[in-house]
Amino acid sequence: MTTAKRVSMIGLGVMGGPIARHIGRAGHALTIYNRSPGRADRWREAHPDIAVRVAGSPAEAAAEAEMVITCVGNDDDLADVVLGPQGVFSSLRPGGVFVDHTTVSARIARQIAVEARDLQVKCVDAPMTGSQIGAENGTLTLMCGGRPDAIEAARPVMEAYSRRIVHVGKSGAGQLTKMANQICIAGAVAGVSEALRMAQASHLDMAKVYEAISGGAAQSWQMDNRWESMSEDRFDGFGFAIDWMRKDLGLALDEGRGLGVSLPVTSLVDQFYADVQALGGGRQDTSALVRRLPRKGGK
């Protein structure tokens, strides 16, 4: 049986909100903080079964915590809530555990790890995959960078909302692995988009096409989870927006340039996503990539 911990969750968006729910229902003493205070209040009202404290700052959230988890927007947001004057590291005590689930650069992950080491805080960079449905169902995969003792200290709490926890290497390695993940997704969505439009133009039964090709080498998570909705031009309500995907691909492209690695497909798909943003689809699911390919008829 997992020993209850004092856990603070900072960031209650489409991923952080469900994660907080799993932590609270696992029996941990939960504190929440969101930079938009109304969201934290709404979260508390929506979960009357969970005893929760709403903090007024990241520092207040961390002051009595044994473990602090962040899930915010980008490098600047993370630096603010962790390293700022009222940030987590201004009050998290030695021996505490810090876990970041934001997708950010490997550079900021390493910087935070150095600061954590000096404060005697165990630090894990643990970006996620599994999309909003994985957060809702508690079946996320976490790609963890950091020292083995830090991952093991965080594991009992992370198991409340994840199905797979993989220690991929030292600090920053989690973020680099997430970049590889997003590169794979970009190529998969582009391939599914083109296949779907060709099948539609051929007046094929889309359900039968999926049945025929999804059991072989063409199968992918994107196909299994987005073929039907893409066929029906439904791109809202799935959680991971194109705006965020372009942020992630930008991180991967920057890292690739620094490493001298060519990423031509990633660069091309990133520009395809820019086309969909220009169509007003920035907040739609990444599967809206198919919108840039005109429908030529079919069912």
pLDDT recorded at residue 289: 98
pLDDT recorded at residue 2: 66
Q: What is the CATH number of domain 176-292?
A: 1.10.1040.10
Q: What is the pLDDT of residues 82-126, one digit of tens each?
A: 999 999 999 999 999 999 999 999 999 999 999 999 999 999 999
- Which of 84, 91, 86 minimizes the C-alpha distance to 57? 86
Could you tell me the CATH superfamily of domain 6-171?
A: NAD(P)-binding Rossmann-like Domain (3.40.50.720)
Alpha carbon 284 to chain centroid distance? 16
Please give the torsion angle defined by the CA atoms of residues 105, 107, 110 and 115, in that order, rounded to the nearest 10 degrees.
-110
Which token pair is 5?
């911990």
pTM above 0.85, yes or no: yes
Q: What is the pLDDT of residues 221-261, one digit of tens each?
A: 999 999 999 999 999 977 689 999 999 999 999 999 999 99
Which token pair is 291?
């919108």
pLDDT recorded at residue 297: 60
Which residues are identified as catalytic?
Answer: 178
Q: Which three-class secondary structure state does DSSP give residue 160? A: coil
Whether the pLDDT of residue 1 is over 60: the answer is no
Identify residue 165 by its one-letter amino acid code: I
Overall average pLDDT of the 137-156 stretch: 98
Q: For the chain, what are the domain ranges?
A: 6-171, 176-292
- Which of 76, 162, 170 minimizes the C-alpha distance to 124? 170
Whether the pLDDT of residue 162 is over 50: the answer is yes
pLDDT recorded at residue 275: 98
Long-range CB pairs of 170-173 (<8 Å, 24+ gap) are 170/145, 170/146, 171/109, 171/110, 171/113, 171/123, 171/125, 171/145, 171/146, 171/147, 172/106, 172/107, 172/109, 172/110, 172/113, 172/125, 172/145, 173/106, 173/125, 173/143, 173/145
Whether the pLDDT of residue 213 is over 90: the answer is yes
Q: Return the residue matching tokens 């927007």.
A: 73
pLDDT recorded at residue 299: 47
Handedness of CA 265, 266, 267, 272 (dihedral sign): positive
Whether the pLDDT of residue 298 is over 60: the answer is no
User: CA-CA distance, 16 to 187, in Å (whole number)?
Assistant: 27
Overall average pLDDT of the 269-289 stretch: 97
